Amino acid sequence: MINTFDRFRVLLAGPILLGSLLCHSAALAQSPSSRVDPIEVWYTFAVDSQEEAIFLRAVDAFEKAHPDIPVKPTRIPYLQNLSQFINSSQAGEAPDVIRLSDSELGRVGHISVEGLPLLEDLRVHLTPMQRSRFDARALAAMRYGNPLYAIPVSQGCLSLIYNRKLFDQAGVAYPRDDWTTEELLRAARSLTRGDILGMSVPLKWSYWFVPVLSAFGGAMFDPSGRPTLDSPGSSEAMDWYLDLERVHGVTVSSTSLEAMSTQFLLEKSAMVFDGAWNWNTYANQGLDIGQAVMPVMAETGQRLAPLASYFGWAVSKQSDAKVDSVRLALWLTSADVQKEFALSTYMLPTDRSLARDPEIAADPVLAGYIRQIQHTVQVPTVRGASMVYEQLDVALEMTYTGEMTAADALAAADVEMERVLDR
């Protein structure tokens, strides 16, 4: 009896010993170490992609130029980037430098841990001259309220991409920059035959609705950042947009966003509104494609203006090497790096000097998209900007299914948006 109990105690001693060892090692791990920690930078470029190669080359060059600043790049799956950053920040394990989009900034901006924001306000880190290199709109998109949370590195927007072969087959003239929506619809109708669609538009995604909304004079927010989903012109815009399928039958709605690129890749549709970021996906598939600026709305005389979106490099508030981190962020946003990204992956630069760069101007795709970016609208980087799409999506769904009129759905969306923001 006693014997077995002793054995029991011996067996229990194991876990206790193990536990105390673990606690000890944990305590050791927490002791402050001298600053040789590398700058941890998170990036989301896909593994073995061109983007990753350019990025890693830039990091190497930075390390060569600053031998005393080691850098540790970590690849994070793109879709989990933001949640991973938020979780790590809560646990005090945030990286020093991270690449975020303006809409992600809109979500991160209002988050605070222990009363402090997640990101460092970079205004005090940059001299006015360093700042002046960047496009003013891009800089503005990197601000959440007053603070500047990231240094803009690239921008992008949707534009009209068309399949030359399908246009030739149907005997329709290629799209031009001065097209009106009437010409667009006429072409789309002539192109729609058999199982080929005139255009692929993901009708239930509000991101694709924004150009039409802006062409009718509507806007998602007023300049102060309050939602204005039921602004004048928005319900006409929604009806025009959904009529692409309901009346003209030149596109078919789908629940999947992939449907758009799949249809276009398989030459089942002649036109898409897509970003330069997908240009290589189409071109590498062997499609003969061209680009034109989005047309002018015949009803209003205003041009369809898609949303401009931006990426920037941000520095964590928790970083213990902010000066070096900002140095790295500036390096990664330098004109040279931006130019390399632009020429090989069609990320539009934010450095103002590059807009006049001869090599960039000579690239028809970059030049075309730089023309398009002159006709874009901007969403203020506010918390609502990350939530507005869901409400607009619901409004599109409700209108599409016929449960509500466009005007009612938009009014309800606006009410819900106000409610969400006041919560």
Choose which of 17, 57, 60, 77 interacts with other proteins (CB under 8 A). Answer: 77
Quick check: 84 and 93 in contact, CB under 8 A?
Answer: no
State the burial class of residue 190 (Cβ atoms within 10 Å of its Cβ: 0-12, 13-18, 19+): middle
Q: Strand, helix or coil at 42?
A: strand
The yes or no reply on residue 255 touching other proteins (CB under 8 A) is: yes
Strands (E), 188-342: 197-200, 269-275, 289-292, 309-315
Please report whether residue 112 would count as binding other proteins according to CB under 8 A: yes
Query: CB atoms < 10 A from the CB of 36, how many?
Result: 7
Q: Is residue 267 within 8 Å of residue 166, measured between CB atoms?
A: yes
Which of 155, 214, 334, 376: binder of other proteins (CB under 8 A)? 334
Q: Which region, judged by CB under 8 A, interacts with other proteins, from 169-177, 186-194, 209-217, 384-392?
A: 384-392
Minimum distance of other proteins from residue 390's CB (angstroms): 7
Check binding of 300 to other proteins (CB under 8 A).
no
Query: How far apart are alpha carbons 224 and 229 in whole angstroms?
Result: 14
Angle between helix 406-422 and 234-246 (nearest 10): 120
Torsion sign, CA atoms 289, 295, 298, 299: positive
- Which helix or strand (DSSP H or E) is residue 395 part of? helix 388-400
Residue 69 engages other proteins in binding (rule: CB under 8 A):
no
Q: Among 248, 268, 339, 371, indicate the residue that binds other proteins (CB under 8 A).
A: 268
Count Cβ atoms below 10 Å from residue 62 Cβ, excluding itself: 20
Contacts of 258 (CB under 8 A, 6+ apart): none
Instruction: Tell me the torsion sign for CA atoms 201, 207, 209, 213.
Output: negative
Rule CB under 8 A: is residue 65 a binding residue for other proteins? Answer: yes
Residue 67 binds to other proteins (criterion: CB under 8 A): no
CB of 168 to other proteins, least distance (A): 22
Q: Is 281 in the site for other proteins (CB under 8 A)?
A: yes
When the beta carbons of 75 and 248 are compared against other proteins, the nearer one is: 75
Footprint of other proteins on 116-135 (CB under 8 A)? 116, 120, 123-131
Size of the site for other proteins (CB under 8 A): 108
Residue 170 sits in the site that holds other proteins (CB under 8 A): no
Between 130 and 180, CB nearer to other proteins: 130
- Site for other proteins contains 405 (CB under 8 A): no
User: Using CB under 8 A, which residues numbered 178 to 207 contact other proteins?
Assistant: none
245 binds other proteins (CB under 8 A): no
Geometric angle at alpha carbon 37, from 121 and 114, rounded to 5°: 40
Q: Which residues, numbered 81-100, are part of the site for other proteins (CB under 8 A)? A: 83-84, 86-93, 95
Compute the least distance from the CB of residue 227 to other proteins, in Å: 13
Position 49 contacts other proteins (CB under 8 A): yes
Scanning 37-92, the segments in alpha helix (DSSP H) are: 50-65, 81-90
Minimum CB distance to other proteins smaller for 259 or for 298: 259
Residue ranges in 13-32 that form contacts with other proteins under rule CB under 8 A: 15-16, 19, 22-23, 25-26, 29-30
Q: Judged by CB under 8 A, which stretch of 176-184, 230-238, 296-304, 314-322 contacts other proteins?
A: 314-322
In angstroms, the Cα distances linking 30 to 23, 24, 288, 329 are 11, 10, 58, 27
